[in-house]
């Protein structure tokens, strides 16, 4: 199977190692991965802030860039939701682009969703090196659950990952307080939500907290660093990469 990786702005600018891990994981699972260098932002920040006329050129570029791809894999629930759910809404008054958006949406997947649902994989190959034992807890991103309905796939992969012990977290599906512009517009509310999330992470006694969105992990990692917590914040792609490689 072939897949094009859409790396997302945050991964590109802040966490390129997440993109590299996603490629290694997919290739180990037999996927032929390509990277379209013409890709830019999917338009989500502008769309979520109400600037739909600014989001449209970015969305059109995404559609043009990935229209011919066999599958599109995104290591982010929020960006995948933008393409899968909101592009058709964005182009509701432009029938040709709305049709193109539906075509692209049908072959767009969040990373763990692609591995489990498209590839049919829930058992991962063992690492050739010495096993690395990690106790991990999982934060469930809002867009991943609410817009994409991806709930079981990340946990299935974490439970199958060699050397990973998955520790349940209280209120794992509750927002971490980031929410893009929300954290900037409402810092006090965002901070309160983050404090709750950090308390729940600490209760698990986990060595690491993981999620499918780097933005959630940026929020959580910043809070943990400020509060002196030593728990690692690591993307699911990186955890799978470590477990398999």
- Give dist(CA 57, CA 42) in Å, integer: 9
Alpha-carbon distance of 5 to 35, in angstroms, equals 5
Question: Each residue of 32-50: pLDDT tens digit?
Answer: 999 999 999 999 999 999 9
DSSP class of residue 6?
Answer: P
> 98: which DSSP letter?
H
> What is the pLDDT confidence band of residue 230, given thresholds at 50, 70 and 90?
very high
pLDDT at position 130, please?
A: 62
Q: Is residue 188 pLDDT above 80, yes or no?
A: yes
**pLDDT digits over 159-173, tens only?**
999 999 999 999 999
Cα(148)–Cα(77) distance, rounded to whole angstroms?
A: 7
Tokens of residue 238, six digits: 């990186």
Mean pLDDT for the chain overall: 96
Q: Shortest CA distance to 44 belongs to which of 5, 79, 89? A: 79
Query: DSSP string covering 100-146, please?
Result: HHHHHHTTEEEHHHIIIIIS---SPPPPSS----EEEEE---HHHHH
User: Which stretches within the chain are classed as H helix?
Assistant: 9-13, 16-28, 44-48, 52-66, 77-81, 87-90, 95-105, 111-113, 142-146, 153-160, 182-185, 187-204, 214-227, 236-244
Q: How confident is the model at residue 126 (pLDDT cuts 50, 70, 90)?
A: confident
């Amino acid at each position: 199977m072939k897949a094009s990786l859409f790396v997302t702005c945050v991964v590109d600018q802040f966490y390129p190692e997440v993109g590299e891990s996603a490629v290694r994981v997919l290739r180990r699972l037999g996927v032929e991965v390509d990277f379209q260098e013409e890709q830019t932002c999917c338009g989500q920040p502008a769309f979520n802030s109400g600037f739909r006329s600014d989001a449209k050129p970015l969305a059109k570029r995404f559609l043009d860039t990935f229209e011919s791809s066999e599958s599109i894999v995104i290591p982010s629930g929020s960006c995948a939701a933008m393409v899968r759910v909101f592009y058709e809404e964005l182009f509701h008054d432009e029938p040709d682009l709305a049709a193109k958006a539906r075509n692209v949406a049908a072959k767009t997947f969040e990373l763990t969703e692609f591995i489990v649902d498209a590839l049919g994989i829930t058992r991962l190959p063992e690492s050739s090196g010495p096993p690395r034992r990690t106790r991990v807890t999982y934060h469930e991103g809002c867009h991943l659950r609410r817009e994409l309905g991806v709930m079981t796939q990340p946990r299935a992969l974490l439970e199958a990952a060699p050397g990973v012990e998955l520790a349940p977290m209280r209120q794992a599906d509750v927002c971490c307080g980031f929410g893009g512009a929300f954290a900037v517009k409402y810092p006090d509310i965002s901070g309160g939500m983050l404090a709750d999330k950090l308390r729940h992470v600490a209760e698990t006694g986990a060595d690491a907290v993981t999620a499918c969105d780097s933005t959630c992990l940026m929020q959580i990692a910043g809070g943990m660093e400020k509060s002196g917590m030593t728990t690692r914040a690591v993307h699911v792609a990186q955890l799978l990469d470590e477990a398999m490689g």
